[in-house]
Amino acid sequence: MQFKKDKSAINYFILALICFLFIISALSASLFTPLFKKVNYGQRLPLLNAIYIFILWIIEIVVMIVILYKKNKFDILNIKREKEELSVLRILILFGITLAPIFLISGLLGWKLKIVDDLGERITGDFLTFQLCEYGKAIPKLFIVAIMIRLFQDGMEKIVITKYQIPWGGIFVMLTFGLYELLTYDHSFGIFYFFFPLIYGTIYLVSKRNVFITFLLSFFIYLL
Amino acid sequence: MNNKQEFIKNKIIQFLKDNYLIIGYVILTIFYELLGVSVTFHKFWIRDPRILFLYVGIVTTVLFLIRNQLVRYIGSSIMLLFTGILNILFIVVYEMTGTIFDYSMLKLRNDAMGIIESLPINFIFFSIYSITYALYLVFGFKFIKKFPLKKTGNIIVALKSVVLIVLFLLNFFIIQSLDKKENDINEVDRLYGTKEEGYTQLGISSTVFNAFYKGWFYSDIELGDSKDVEDFIYSSISKNTKEANPNNIDRSNYNVITILAETLEWFSFMQDENNYPNGFHFQDPNILSKELYPNLYRLYNESIVMDNFHSREKTDISENLSIIGSYPTNVYINYDYPNNTNPMTVPNVLKTLDPSILCKSYHNGERNYYNRNVSHLSLGFEEFIDAETMEEKYNMPNWIPKSERNLDKDMIDKCKEDMFPTDRRFYTYITTITMHGQFLHREGLEERGYYDIMDSFGFKEVEETNEDNVNQNLFRNYAVAAMEFDRAIGAIFDYLEETNLLEKTIIVVFGDHNAYYQGLSSYVKQITKPDHENYTNLYRVPLMIYVPNMEHQVIHKFCCTADIVPTIYDLLGINYFDNMYFGHSVFSQEESVLYSRAYDIFMTDNAYFANLNKIYYLRDGYGDDYMKDVEKRSVELLNKLGMTNRIFFNDFFGMTQLDSHQQLIKPFLATYQQKLREINQTNN
C-alpha cells in the first residue's frame, strides 16, 4: 500500500459525510410527529413520515447534484464518464454477489423471501401501506448510499494506491450508515445490514464504478 | 467441411444471432409454465399445451415481425414479466386456497383481501424466475448491439404477417372448439373425461387465458324447454324415513338451528391417536370432555353423530349447500345469482309450509363478505345480521378492527334473545368465525384465559426450533379457538333450556371444511397425498344433529354437506322434490357422492377422483364393483347438477311462462310452492 498527497480527496470525504448527514436528516421527521399523532389514531403517521422523508431526501440529492455540477462541474453520478462495457465474467460475479445475501437471508428465514417475511402475518391495509412506505424510502436512501460509496472510494483512491482494489467506499458506509442502521432499526438481521454496505462497495468496484448499477443491485438486496 | 455445410452452418449461426432474444423468450416462457405446474402439482409436464403453444406462437410471430433488436428486447422482456407475474400470482392463490383459477373467482377478489393474513410467495418459483429473468434482461441487452438485425424485404414481412393472422385465427378456432366441447357437454361427461388435475392440464397462464375466454364468451347456459325442467323437478318426491322419526312425533312446529362451525374438525376436541397422530396426547383423555370441551362433548353424547361426514368445499359453498341443498358449477351463487328466486332453500320451504316461521341468518364476520348481506335475503332469510350490526345493535365486542376474529360466545350471548325467539317458531342459521385460520395467537382468546387453561393441562406453547414445533403451536392455537366455540355451544344449550325451547328445537352442527389453513389438517392427521391408505379421512369433519327425544346414535354411512338439507326435511317430516337436492337424508339407505365445485373432484369415503379415468385414491379392498356403484350414483348426481346449472343461470323460478301473445300464464315459483304444499298436505 502506498500513499500519495492529493488535497482534493478531502472534498470527496466531506461530500461523503454530507451524504451521511442527509440520511440522518430523516430524524427530523420526528419533529412533525406530534402534529399527526392524532390523525386516524396515529395510523397515518408512517405514511406521512415516509412521504416527508422521501421528499426530503430527493430534494437533498437533487440540490447536491445540481450545485456541484453547476459550480464545480463535478459529475457526482459518474454520468459523463466514458462507459466501459462489463464482461460476461463481471456480470456473472455481480449476479453472484447479489444473490448470495438474498439466499443467505432467505435461508435464515426458512427459505422464505425477506419481502414475504416483512409483510408477515395478519396483513392489513395499514400494515401494507407502512411496508410500502419503507420500500419507498429505501429508494432515495440506497441512492444516497451508492453516492457515498462512489465519493469515498474515489477519495481514498486519490491518496492510497493498493495492489488490489479495496472497497473503501463500502467500508466507510459500513462504519457510518451500517452502524446507524444497526443501532436504529429493530430487525432480527440487523447485523447483516451492518455488513451489507461492504457488498454494495464491492458491487461498485465490479460494476466498473457504475453508481446506478450499485444502487439497483443494493435495492434488490434490501428488498429481497 | 464443404461449402454447402459451411453455408448451412453460417445460416444457422446467423439465425441464432438474429433471433437470440426470441429463442430466449420461447425457452423461458415454456420453462416458467412447467416450473409453475411443477411447484403446484409436482409434475414437470403439461398434458394439453395447445393454448400455451399458440400463445407463445403469437408473441413469437409478433417479435419476428419487429425489425429492431431493442424493441424486441423490450417487448419480450415485458411478456416474460407478464408470464412471471401471472404464474406467481396464481401459485400464491393455489397455495393459499388449494384452488385453480376460474373466471368466477374474480368475484371473490374483495373477499380475498379480507382473509389474506400472509402472502405465501413460492420461494422456488420466485428465485428461479428472478435469476433467469435477470439473466435474460442483462445478457439480452448486452448483445443487442453485437447482433443487429439485417434488413429484410417487404415480401418477407408480408409473409410473416400472414402467418401471424393465420395463427390468430387458428388460436381462436382451437380455443373455441375446446370451449364449445366443454360447454356443450352433458354434465355427466365430467365423469368420463380425461382431464388432468389442476394446472397440469393446461399450465397456469393457459388456464387463466382459457378461463377469461370462456368467462367472456361462453358462459351462457340454455334453459331448454321449460316443460322438461318442470318434469325433471316434479318427477321424484322424497319419502320420509322411519329412522328419522321412530316414535312418529309431530315435528311440524319444531324450530331448527343450523350452525356452520367454521373449520370444525373432530380433532378440535377429541383425542384419537389413530386418526389424529399429531393431535391431543393427554394421558387422561377425560380432560378434554370434562375440562376443555364439556359442551361439545354434551352435544356429541346427546346427538345423532355422523362419523363419516365429509366436506371438500370452501365456506361459502358449504354454507349454500347446507341452505339450498344444491350448487351450480363454474359460478359463485352469492355473486353470480345474488337475487335469484330460490323456493327450494330451507327457509323458503319452511315459509311456504308455515308462513309464521321467522328465518334469520347470523354471522359474526364482515357484512359484505361473500356478498352475504345480499344473497342471504334471496335464500329466504328475513334478515342477515353481521358483526357490525351485532356491535351496533347488540353491543357485541367487535375484534375485526384489531385484525382479530370475533368471538362466537360473544355473538350468542348478545344475540340469543333475537336468535331464538320464544314467541314464534324459528329457523336460525349461524355461521361462526372464531376457529377461522390462520391459527395465530389471538388477543381475544388470551383475554378469555383459554391459553392459561391449556397451559395448566401441560399443553404449552413450545419454542419454534423446528417445523414440528411450529405445527404443534398452530394446533394449540386452533384448539384454543375451539374452546371458544365450545362455550358458544354451551351458551346455546343453556339459553334453550332456560326458555324451554330445547325440547322442540333441532340443532344441526357441522364443520364447513377441514383445517386446511397452514396445512394443519394434514399435519394433525399425517395425511398429505392420495397415496395414504386413509386419504379421504383428510376431509372427514363433524356433523352432529341434536333432535329432542332422540337417543344418541352414531351413523357410519358416508355423508356430505349436500345431505344436510334433505336430513332436516326428513326430521321435520317434510316431503320435497328430491331432484332439486344433491344429497340424501342421513337416515335413508341411499348414499351420496360428494362433488366438489371448488376443486372439481368426486369423492366418497373410499374413493377420490377427478373422473373415472383419473382415480387418485381407492381404498384397499374396493375395486370395480364399488366403482360401478359410485358411477351410478355420480350419474344421478350429475344429472341433477346439469339441471341445477340451467335453473340457476336462467333464474327459472323468477321467470314466468308466457303464451304466444306474451301474456303471463304461469309463474314457476307459484307452481313450485303450490306443488310443495300439495305433496305435504297429501302425505300428512
* pLDDT tens digits along A168-216: 999 999 999 888 888 877 666 667 778 889 999 999 999 988 888 999 9
Q: Is B559 exposed, middle or buried (0-12, 13-18, 19+ CB in 10 A)?
A: buried
Average pLDDT over chain A, rounded to an integer: 83
Chain A residues whose CB is inside 8 A of the B142 CB are 85-86, 88, 91
Would the ipTM clear 0.85, i.e. be above it? no
Which residue of B92, B123, B139 to mutate against A (max A Cβ within 10 Å)? B123
> Which residues are within 8 A (CB) of B625 and not within 5 positions of it... i.e. 6 or more apart?
none
Compare CB distances from B117 to A85, A99, A121 and report the shortest one's residue. A121
Residues of A in contact with B471 (CB under 8 A): none
What secondary structure letter does DSSP report for B199?
Answer: G
C-beta atoms of B142 and A91 within 8 A: yes
- Tell me the CA end-to-end span of chain A in Å, nearest whole number: 37
| Best residue in B92, B117, B119 for a mutation probing chain A (most A CBs within 10 Å) | B119
B381-412 per-residue burial string, b: 16 or more CB within 10 A, e: under 16: beebbbbbbbbeebebebbbeebbbbbbbbbb
Determine the pLDDT at residue B684: 46
Helix, strand or coil for residue B507? strand
| Bigger pLDDT: B77 vs A73 | B77
Residues in chain B with CB shorter than 8 Å from the CB of A103 are: 127
Domain count, chain A: 1
Strand ranges inside B267-310, DSSP E: 304-306, 309-310
| pLDDT (0 to 100) of residue B376 | 96
What is the pairing mode between strands B553-555 and B304-306?
parallel
pLDDT at B556 over 60: yes
> What are the residues whose beta carbons fall under 8 Å from the beta carbon of B38, sequence distance 6 or more?
B44
pLDDT band of residue B344 (cuts 50, 70, 90) is very high
pLDDT tens digits, one per residue of B628-656: 999 999 999 999 999 999 999 999 999 87
What is the mean pLDDT of the segment spanning B402-424? 95
- pLDDT at position B114 is 55
Find the Cα–Cα–Cα–Cα dihedral B454, B458, B461, B464, rounded to 10°. Answer: -150
Task: Count contacts between A and B (CB, < 8 Å).
Answer: 46
Strand partners, B360: B383, B428
How many residues does this entry show for chain A?
A: 224
CA distance B346 to B580: 12
Do residues B515 and B485 make contact, with C-beta atoms less than 8 angstroms apart? Answer: no
DSSP B329: S
Domain that holds residue A28: 2-223
Residue of B274 and B66 predicted with greater confidence: B274
Residues of chain B above pLDDT 70, percent:
92
Per-residue pLDDT reduced to its tens digit, B45-86: 888 888 888 888 888 888 888 888 899 999 999 999 999 999
Whose cell is 414475504? That residue is A116
- Domain B248-593 is in which class? alpha beta
Rounded to a whole number of angstroms, the CA Rg of chain A reads 19
Q: Who's near B458: CB < 8 A, 6+ residues apart?
A: B282
Mean pLDDT, rounded, for B318-334: 94
B110 touching A (Cβ < 8 Å): no
pLDDT higher at A50 or A202 = A202
Is the pLDDT at A42 greater than 70? The verdict is no
Distance separating alpha carbons of residues A217 and B236, to the nearest angstrom: 70
pLDDT at B346 over 60: yes
Contact A224 B130 (CB under 8 A): yes
Q: Quick count: other Cβ atoms within 10 Å of Cβ B286?
A: 10
- Please tell me if residue B117 touches chain A, with a CB cutoff of 8 Å: yes
Residues of chain B with CATH 3.40.720.10: 248-593
Report the distance separating Cα B229 and Cα B226, nearest Å. 5
Highest-confidence segment of A74-88, A114-128, B133-147, B186-200: B133-147
- Residue in chain B lying closest to A224 (CA): B127
Q: Which of B325-334, B448-457, B498-507 is least confident?
A: B325-334
